[in-house]
Amino acid sequence: MAHSDPATPASPASASDSALGQASLTGTLAHLWPYIWPGDRADLKMRVVWSVVLLLAAKLATLAVPFTFKWATDALTGADSAPVQPSNWVLWVVASPVIMTLGYGGLRVLMGVLTQWRDGIFARVAMHAVRKLAYLTFVHMHDLSLRFHLERKTGGLTRVLERGRNGIETIVRMVILQLVPTIVEVALLMAVLLWKFDWRYVAATLITVVIYMFYTYIATEWRIGIRRKMNDSDTEANTKAIDSLLNYETVKYFGAEEREAARYDRSMERYEQASVKAYTSLAVLNAGQAVIFTAGLTATMAMCALGVRSGRNTIGDFVMVNAMMIQLYQPLNFMGMVYREIKQAIIDIEKMFNVLSRKAEIQDIPGALPLIVTSGNVRFDNVYFAYEPDRPILKGLSFEVPAGKTFAIVGPSGAGKSTISRLLFRLYDVSSGRILIDGQDIRNVAQNSLRASIGMVPQDTVLFNDTIRYNIRYGRWDATDAEVEEAAGLAQIDGLIQMSPKGYETQVGERGLKLSGGEKQRVAIARTILKAPSILVLDEATSALDSHTEREIQDALERVSRNRTSLVIAHRLSTIVTADEIIVLDQGRIAERGTHVQLLASGGLYASMWNRQREAQEAREKLARIADENVAPNREPPPVDDVLVTPAAAE
C-alpha cells in the first residue's frame, strides 16, 4: 500500500517558534485531551467509550479472518481431517469449505461495518474538538493587539488557522482511535504466530517490523525538511495572491498586472520545485517500505513452505501465514503513515499553538470593573507613547475634553492625531501617563465596557462583505429595521440606498469595494449613530466626501454629537470651526490651543494651515468657474425636435 501526501500541506516552522510550537506528540495530546474528553459533555465521553469498544471488536474480527481462510483451504485439501460423510450433516456443515468461505466473507464484512460504525460515532467527538479549538484561536486572534495584526499578513494568518484545524483533526482521529489499537493488533498477531507456528516466525516478523519502522523514521525525518520548504513557498504564494487581489484597484491604476503575475509566478516556481522534491522523497519512502516488507513476507512464507514439505504444516497454514502477513502489513504500513502524518500535523498546529500561546498585549486587570460614564469627561494626563522605543509619537500630551463639548485635534501628517484615538479606544496602552474618563483610568476598567461607551468613525472605513443593513446594524446588533433606516437617514445615505433595486439588502462587496469612498464613510457614520455612544470620536470622518455632501454630513454629525463628548480629528479645518476647543499637534506635542477665532488671531501654525486650505479651495472654485465659462459658449443648441414646444408657442 503506497502512501499519499495529504492535499493540504503543513504549515512551516521557523527557528523563532516558541517551545510550544516545537511540542512533541505527548505535549500536543496533553493540550488536545480536554477537548477530546470534555468534562462538561457526558454524551461525547460516551461516544469515545463506544468508539473504543467498536474498534476492539473490529480488530478481533480482523484476527479471525486468516483462521477462516486456513480452515477453508484445509477443508478443500482434506488436510488434518478424515473424510466427512454427508449423512453426518453437523460435521459436514462445520467442515464445509463453502461455510468457511462464507465465514471468511462475513467476518470481513463485519470488520468493515464495525470500523465505519466507529468512525461515524467518533466523528462528532473529533469535529467538536476541531471546532472548539478553532473557535478559541479565532477569539484569541481578536484579543491580540492591533500591533500584532499590523505586523502579520492576513493571508498567512488565515492559512495558519486553516492548517491548524486540519492538523487537529488528523491527530485526534489517528492517535486516539488508530495508533494505540493498531499496536494492540500487532501484538495479538505476534502471539498468534507464536501459538500456531514457532519463535522463528515471530523473530522474522519482529526484525521486519523494526527495520520497517526505523527506515520509516529516517525517511520521514528527511522529508520533514523538504516539506517545510514546500509549505514556506505555499504560504508565500498565497499571501502574495491575497495581497495583490486586495489591492486590485492599485494594480489597475499602475498597469502592473504583468508584474504582479510574474511576482506570483516566482513564488509558485519555488513551490513547484519544493513540491517535486517532496513527491520524489515520498516515492523513495514507499519503495523502501515495499522492499523491506516483501523481504519479511518472503522469509516467513519460505519457512512455512519448508514446513509443508516436511509435514509439520498444512497448505492451510501456508495460506494462513500469507494472509496474516498481508494483514500485518496494513497496520504496519498504517503505523508508518501515522508517524508521518502526526509529525506533519504537529507542524500544522505549531503556528496555531504559537498564536494561542502569545499573550494579549492589552489585557484587563484582575477584577476590572465596567466603565461608568456619568458625564463623559475625557482627560489625557502627561501621555507618552511610542510604537517603537526609538521613535516616540506622543511626548507628554495633556488636555481635557469637558463633558458634552466638542474638542478638535489638528496638525500635519505624522503629528500623532490618529494615535490619540487608538489610545482612547485602548487598541494600545500608553507608555506612561494616564487617560481618564470621568476620573477612571481606562487601563483599570473592562475593555468591553470602555469600547461600548465610545463611538468611532475612522478615516479608512472597511465594511464586511455583506448587506448594507448588516453593516449599519453592526453598530447595535439588537436594533430594529426602523432604527437602522433612521440612522441611515441621519447619515444622509438612505436616498442612495432606496435607489438601489435591493435597497438595504444590497451587497457591498469585499471590504465594501462596491461602494464609493463617500458611501462607505456614510455607512460608518450611520452605524456609529445607531450605537449612540456617550463619547464620539471622529477620525477625519468626512475626508472622503465632496464639499456639498460634507456640509450635509457635518450637519448630521453636529446633531448626533449634541450633548455628547466629541473628539474630532480633522484634516479639513472647515469641519471644526465650531469646536469648543482646538489643539494643534506638532511632532507629538501641543503647539497651539484655543478656539478657531483665537487661533486665527494668533497667526501661528493653525492660521498658516487655514490659509493654505482656503487658498486651495479658492483655486479649485476658480478653476471650476473657468471650466464652466469655457464649456457654455461652445455648447450647440439642442435639435429642434428635442425642444419642448408649449401650445402657446405653437400658436
Please state the rounded mean pLDDT for residues 252-267.
Answer: 84
Is the predicted pLDDT of residue 629 greater than 70, yes or no?
no
DSSP state of 178: I
Is the predicted pLDDT of residue 8 greater than 50, yes or no?
no
Q: What confidence score (pLDDT) does residue 14 get?
A: 36
Return the closest-CA partner of residue 407 out of 436, 379, 442.
379
Looking at per-residue pLDDT, the higher value among 194 and 641 belongs to 194
Contact at 8 Å (CB) between 228 and 347? yes
Q: What confidence score (pLDDT) does residue 434 get?
A: 92
For the stretch 431-470, pLDDT in tens is: 899 999 999 999 999 988 998 888 888 777 778 888 889 8
Q: How confident is the model at residue 13 (pLDDT cuts 50, 70, 90)?
A: very low
Please state the rounded mean pLDDT for residues 348-355.
Answer: 74
Looking at per-residue pLDDT, the higher value among 24 and 17 belongs to 24
Is the predicted pLDDT of residue 628 greater than 70, yes or no?
no
For the stretch 511-525, pLDDT in tens is: 777 787 778 888 888
Contact at 8 Å (CB) between 442 and 450? yes
Q: What confidence score (pLDDT) does residue 433 get?
A: 92
Name which of 176-180, 464-468, 477-481 the model is least confident about: 176-180
Q: What confidence score (pLDDT) does residue 638 get?
A: 45
Please state the rounded mean pLDDT for residues 203-223.
Answer: 85
Q: What confidence score (pLDDT) does residue 145 get?
A: 65
For the stretch 32-68, pLDDT in tens is: 777 778 777 888 888 888 888 888 888 888 888 888 8
Is the predicted pLDDT of residue 382 greater than 90, yes or no?
yes
Please state the rounded mean pLDDT for residues 518-540.
Answer: 84
Q: How far apart are CA 37 and CA 11, in angstroms?
A: 26
Q: How many CB atoms lie within 10 A of CB 638?
A: 9
Return the closest-CA partner of residue 51 out of 150, 175, 158, 217.
175
Q: What confidence score (pLDDT) does residue 87 get?
A: 46
Q: What confidence score (pLDDT) does residue 541 get?
A: 64
Is the predicted pLDDT of residue 302 greater than 60, yes or no?
yes
Is the predicted pLDDT of residue 580 greater than 50, yes or no?
yes
Q: How far apart are CA 613 and CA 509, in angstroms?
A: 34
Q: How confident is the model at residue 642 (pLDDT cuts 50, 70, 90)?
A: very low
- pTM (2 d.p.): 0.62
| Axis crossing angle, helix 42-77 with helix 97-143, rounded to the nearest 10 | 150
Please state the rounded mean pLDDT for residues 404-411.
Answer: 88
Please state the rounded mean pLDDT for residues 338-367.
Answer: 77
Contact at 8 Å (CB) between 417 and 408? no
Return the closest-CA partner of residue 49 out of 37, 35, 31, 61.
37
Q: What confidence score (pLDDT) does residue 380 get?
A: 92
Name which of 20-29, 461-470, 642-651 the model is least confident about: 642-651
Matching residue, cell 527557528: 15
- Mean of per-residue pLDDT scores for the chain: 78
For the record, the C-alpha cell of 299 comes out as: 522469509
Q: What confidence score (pLDDT) does residue 91 get?
A: 45
Q: Where does residue 241 fall: left (phi above 0), alpha (psi -120 to 50 degrees), or beta otherwise?
A: alpha
Q: What confidence score (pLDDT) does residue 11 get?
A: 36
Is the predicted pLDDT of residue 609 greater than 70, yes or no?
yes
Please state the rounded mean pLDDT for residues 95-101.
Answer: 70
For residue 437, the surrounding DSSP H or E stretch is strand 432-437
Q: How far apart are CA 346 and CA 23, in angstroms?
A: 7
For the record, the C-alpha cell of 25 comes out as: 506528540
Q: What confidence score (pLDDT) does residue 384 get?
A: 92
Name which of 184-193, 260-269, 419-428, 594-603 the model is least confident about: 184-193
Instruction: Tell me the domains of the chain and their CATH numbers.
Output: 25-357 (1.20.1560.10), 370-453+533-629 (3.40.50.300), 462-531 (3.40.50.300)
Q: How confident is the model at residue 643 (pLDDT cuts 50, 70, 90)?
A: very low
Burial class for 559, CB neighbours closer than 10 Å (0-12, 13-18, 19+)? exposed
